Amino acid sequence: MGLAGQVMRLWIDPVGSMRRMLAAPPREDRALAVVMGAGAFVFLGEIPLAMRAAALDPAVPVDARIGGALMGAVFLLPLAAYAVAAASRIVARLLGGHGSWHGARLALFWALLAVQPVALVLALLRARAPIDASAGGLDGLGVAAFGAFLYLWFRLLVAAESRPAAERSPAP
């Protein structure tokens, strides 16, 4: 199944999607590709905003703004995501989670990737908004997109940290 199909399945059935991902052998190259793909989508969303900012303030040229966005989205975002995934695994373990480090990374990385279509639309709307217009509606959409990310991440992390039914001991 293609990437778009996996993202759609993730929105429809996050727990089932996570269980299918965890059933496959752990491959760090795929996890890294997912988080770098999410970073690439973040970078694409930053391009129209950088162009608008450079048009409004020509003191910083557009290529410098785009270079900074590239550095942040494609190189620094994956490093930060690995750190956040490790912290979430530690917290989950303290709360009684039975998952793995790989599962915690998959949960965060796929949640990041799944909200990128919404983030791209939001970035395009922000770039096209009138300069003097209130961005209240766009701020609300941004909060909703962040809420959707948190919801997906939580559902995926809970699925990754719970024991499969076959490993649970029966009740006495």
Under the banding of pLDDT at 50, 70 and 90, the label for residue 171 is very low
**For 105-161, how does the pLDDT look when each residue is reduced to its tens digit (9 = 90+)?**
999 999 999 999 888 888 888 777 766 555 556 777 788 889 999 999 999 999 999
Please tell me the predicted confidence (pLDDT) of residue 133.
52
Average pLDDT in the 21-43 region? 91
The rounded distance, in Å, linking the Cα atoms of 118 and 151 is: 14
- The 3-class SS string of the chain reads CCHHHHHHHHHHCHHHHHHHHHHCCCCHHHHHHHHHHHHHHHHHHHHHHHHHHHHHCCCCCHHHHHHHHHHHHHHHHHHHHHHHHHHHHHHHHHCCCCCCHHHHHHHHHHHHHHCHHHHHHHHHHHHHCCCCCCCHHHHHHHHHHHHHHHHHHHHHHHHHHCCCCCCCCCCC
Structural domain boundaries of the chain? 3-17+26-161
Output b/e per residue, 44-60; b: 16+ Cβ within 10 A: bbbbbbbebebeeeeee
Of 128, 127, 146, the C-alpha closest to 65 is 127
Please tell me the predicted confidence (pLDDT) of residue 170.
46
The answer to which of 21-35, 47-61, 154-168 has the lowest mean pLDDT is: 154-168
Please tell me the predicted confidence (pLDDT) of residue 33.
92
Of 86, 90, 81, 87, the C-alpha closest to 110 is 81
Under the banding of pLDDT at 50, 70 and 90, the label for residue 4 is confident
In one letter, which amino acid is 44?
Answer: L
Please tell me the predicted confidence (pLDDT) of residue 136.
59
Average pLDDT in the 4-13 region? 86
**For 74-113, how does the pLDDT look when each residue is reduced to its tens digit (9 = 90+)?**
899 999 999 999 999 999 999 998 889 999 999 999 999 9
CA distances from 90 to 87, 103, 161 (A): 5, 12, 11
Model pTM score: 0.84
